[in-house]
Amino acid sequence: MNICVIGCGAVGTTIARAVEAVPDIDVVYLTDRSKECATRLQEKMTKVRYVPDIVPILTDIALVVEAASQEAARYYLPLALSAGVDILVMSVGVFQDDEFQTDAFRLAKRKGARVYMPSGAIGGVDALSAASLEDIQEVTLTTTKPPSAFEMNPYLESKGIAASSLRERTEVFFGTAREAVKHFPQNINVAATISLAGIGFERTKIRIVCDPQVATNEHHLKAKGTFGELDVVTRNVPSPRNPKTSFLAALSAISAIKKITGVVWVGV
């Protein structure tokens, strides 16, 4: 089976390296708006082939893996689904746009293609998804990251908050998951994932904390409902290539690809 990875950043590179060792995958087509980054990765890998455009190879692949940006997800998701090709989306925040979400899911149904969203950088998505079959009263996520994860964030700049000058643990945002995803598009994809798994973008509440004392990206997920209570803390090692991204996010994508290409799924 052949796949195509969009993006050769922290997540895309880790995926491309890992699937070299997956026997069920023959070719990994790779595209990125930076040709240099993609060709450099191609030189180091045996299965990777750089393509400037994915349209000509859509008939040759079984899965597109978006690991680039919300903008890329907006472009590549309809392209893949229209061709009947499944897509695994890392930039899950794109689905906070209700119109895009409805159109995407309708298109998938019409074309018989699937949209996969891995659990990404957070634990507990499987339990939340099962719990949502009955009533859930509340879902709250508290995400704590070091200042380096908030560099060049326009929302914080508009509030006059310079993350790098914070000397103590500071709450920089509290609100709905929809607002969180809009204001922190590169930081809080997990807010979108738990919204989709649980009670939606309006009822899911997000607290974002900047803490100069921490070295991990921490996600503390709490939920209460008919099922009981969920209280899950994930302390992630940030990716050395991109401090906004947790290493676990790339691992979850690789794990998802192995499930999709394999025959046994644990924890679906």
Ligand X SMILES: NC(=O)c1ccc[n+]([C@@H]2O[C@H](COP(=O)([O-])OP(=O)(O)OC[C@H]3O[C@@H](n4cnc5c(N)ncnc54)[C@H](O)[C@@H]3O)[C@@H](O)[C@H]2O)c1
Give contact residues for ligand X (rule: CB under 6 A).
6-12, 32-34, 37, 67-69, 71-72, 75, 90-92, 120-121, 186, 189-190, 193, 241-242, 245-246, 249
**Which is nearer to ligand X, 170 or 186 (by Cβ)?**
186
**Which is nearer to ligand X, 12 or 198 (by Cβ)?**
12
Q: One of 145, 219, 220, 244 is an active-site residue; which one?
A: 219
Nearest to 10 by CA among 244, 180, 228: 244
Q: 210 has which bridge partners?
A: 145, 170
Could you confirm whether 219 is annotated as catalytic? yes
**CB of 13: closest distance to ligand X in angstroms?**
7
Distance separating alpha carbons of residues 140 and 131, to the nearest angstrom: 14
**Which is nearer to ligand X, 74 or 227 (by Cβ)?**
74
Q: 6 has which bridge partners?
A: 31, 66
Closest-approach residue to ligand X (CB): 9
CB 29 within 8 A of CB 55: no
**Which is nearer to ligand X, 9 or 225 (by Cβ)?**
9
Distance separating alpha carbons of residues 222 and 237, to the nearest angstrom: 21
Rg for the chain (alpha carbons), in Å?
18
**CB of 116: closest distance to ligand X in angstroms?**
11
CB 108 within 8 A of CB 81: yes
| List of residues 6+ apart from 150 with CB closer than 8 A | 156, 163, 172, 187, 210
Report helix, strand or coil for 130. helix
DSSP strand E in 7-47: where? 27-31
Torsion, Cα 83 88 94 97, to 10 degrees, reads 60
**Which is nearer to ligand X, 53 or 168 (by Cβ)?**
53
Amino acid at 181: V
Q: Could you list the active site residues?
A: 219
